[in-house]
């Protein structure tokens, strides 16, 4: 039974394989992978090292430090680790990722996938289309719509609720605003992934559970979850990383008011481009890169563990 289940985060068991199965020879094999290595080098490794270098200077967008930046060693990193605004952004990012991705998109995506299994085909198709639409529309268009919807003076929400004077939603509740926005925006991916995952649960097992008199909660816990555990992990890993690096909230609140929704990507932009502190932002970028790597490692570890 277990073997029939498709596993997205598969781990190849170590076994003794000959080093040259295809018979290309080491040199030709290297020739084949060289373009890939070159691309990774140019677009991944070089920018990372470049960031490392910029982060070690006092480079600025304007002024003398733009013409001839000085090497300052680890000063930027020390500054970042002492800077309350960095920790504030980190904390807001944690809230944003947990609220909108790990709980929001995961939960809503699974709930939609679960509920839509049993409904008529046309209902399922229309709901799926609507959810997908939220996902595929261009960010700038979507951001404009949300601002128009939540605006204090002419916003749709205030008009519907009949609030006068209106509530400035994005100023009173900026974090809640971008969390809800991101759930709305990104649920489609989780929904589709869970739809596919649920189809891998053998109907016979669900039927058996039903005949044995298991409640819905019991069925989910004991029959469905063991099958989709790895999908859930993959999904959570992907949406966590995406959300962690998501810049779209900038289009809605620009990190404001008074930095209250300044998640790390927005903080980086505001520091580097608006504040002009390129060197300092380079240092923060590298810290963000490390956090991303750690997150990915944690999830990969969790995925490797065999179910008890």
Partner 1 sequence: MHRRISRWARAVAAATGLLVIAATASGCLGKDSKTDSGRNAEVKEFSLTIAANAIAGGKNAAGAEWVEKWVIPEFIKDQQAKGRTAKVTFQPSGAADEDYKSKIALDLRSGSGADIYAIDGIWVGEFADAGYIKPIEDLVGADKVTGWEGWSQIPPSVQGNMSYNNKRYGVPAGTDGRVLYFNKSLFSQAGLPADWQPKSWDEILATANTLKTKLPGVIPIQLNAGTAMGEATTMQGALPLLVGTGKEIWSNGKWEGNTPALRSMLKAYEAIYRGGLGDPVLQQDAKGRDKSFQAFAEGKIGILLESDYLWRSVVEPTKGIAKMANRDQVVGYTLIPALGAGKGIRGQDFVSMSGGGGNVLNPGTKYPQQAWELLQFMNSKAATVAQLAGSARITQRQDVNTEVLAKDPMLSFVSTKVLPLTAYRPGFAVYPRVSQALQQATLDVVSGKSADDAAATYQKALEGIVGADKVASG
Q: Which residues bind partner 1 (CB under 8 A)?
A: 41, 45-46, 49-50, 52-54, 57, 59-64, 66-69, 152-153, 168, 171-172, 253-254, 256-258, 273-276
Helix (H) or strand (E) holding 250: helix 249-253
3-state class of 72 per DSSP? coil
54 vs 223 by CB, closer to partner 1? 54
8-state DSSP, 4 = G
- 174 touches 253 (CB < 8 A): yes
Phi–psi pair at 57, nearest 5 degrees: -120, 170
Rounded to the nearest whole angstrom, what is the least distance from the CB of residue 277 to partner 1 in the complex?
9
Task: Quote the least distance from Cβ 45 to partner 1, whole Å.
Answer: 6
Closest approach of partner 1 to the CB of residue 137, in Å: 21
Distance CA 82, CA 79 (A): 5
Q: Which is nearer to partner 1, 6 or 293 (CB)?
A: 293
Q: Kindly tell me which of 167 and 302 has the beta carbon lying closer to partner 1.
A: 167
- Specify the 3-state DSSP secondary structure of 71: strand
User: Which residue lies nearer to partner 1 by CB, 66 or 103?
Assistant: 66
Can you tell me the distance from the alpha carbon of 231 to that of 244, in angstroms, rounded to the nearest whole number? 20
Cis ω for the linkage preceding 257 (within 30 of 0) = yes
Closest distance between partner 1 and the C-beta of residue 165, in Å? 9
Q: CB nearer to partner 1: give 111 or 171.
A: 171
């Amino acid at each position: 039974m277990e073997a029939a289940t498709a596993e997205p985060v598969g781990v190849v068991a170590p076994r003794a394989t000959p080093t040259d199965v295809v018979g290309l020879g080491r040199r030709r094999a290297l020739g084949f992978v060289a373009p890939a290595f070159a691309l990774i080098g140019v677009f991944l490794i070089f920018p990372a090292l470049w960031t490392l270098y910029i982060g070690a200077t006092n480079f600025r967008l304007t002024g003398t430090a733009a013409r001839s930046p000085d090497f300052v060693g680890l000063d930027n990193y020390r500054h970042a680790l002492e800077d309350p605004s960095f920790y504030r952004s980190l904390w807001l990012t944690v809230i944003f990722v947990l609220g909108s991705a790990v709980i929001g998109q995961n939960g809503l995506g699974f709930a939609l996938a679960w509920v839509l299994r049993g409904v008529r085909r046309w209902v399922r198709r229309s709901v799926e289309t609507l959810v997908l639409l939220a996902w595929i529309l261009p960010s700038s268009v979507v951001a404009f719509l949300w601002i128009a919807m939540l605006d204090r003076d002419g916003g749709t929400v205030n008009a519907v609720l009949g609030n006068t004077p209106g509530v400035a939603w994005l100023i009173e509740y900026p974090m809640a605003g971008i969390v809800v926005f991101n759930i709305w925006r990104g649920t489609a991916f989780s929904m589709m992934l869970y739809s596919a995952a649920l189809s891998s649960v053998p109907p016979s097992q669900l039927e058996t559970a039903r005949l044995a008199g298991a409640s819905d909660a019991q069925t989910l816990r004991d029959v469905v979850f063991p099958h989709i555990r790895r999908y859930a992990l993959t999904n959570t890993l992907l949406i966590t990383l995406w959300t962690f690096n998501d810049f779209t909230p900038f289009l809605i609140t620009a990190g404001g008011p008074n930095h209250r929704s300044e998640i790390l990507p927005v903080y980086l932009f505001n520091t580097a481009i608006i504040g002009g502190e390129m060197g300092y932002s380079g240092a923060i970028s590298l810290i963000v890169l490390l956090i991303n790597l750690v997150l990915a490692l944690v999830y990969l570890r969790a995925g490797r563990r065999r179910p008890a």
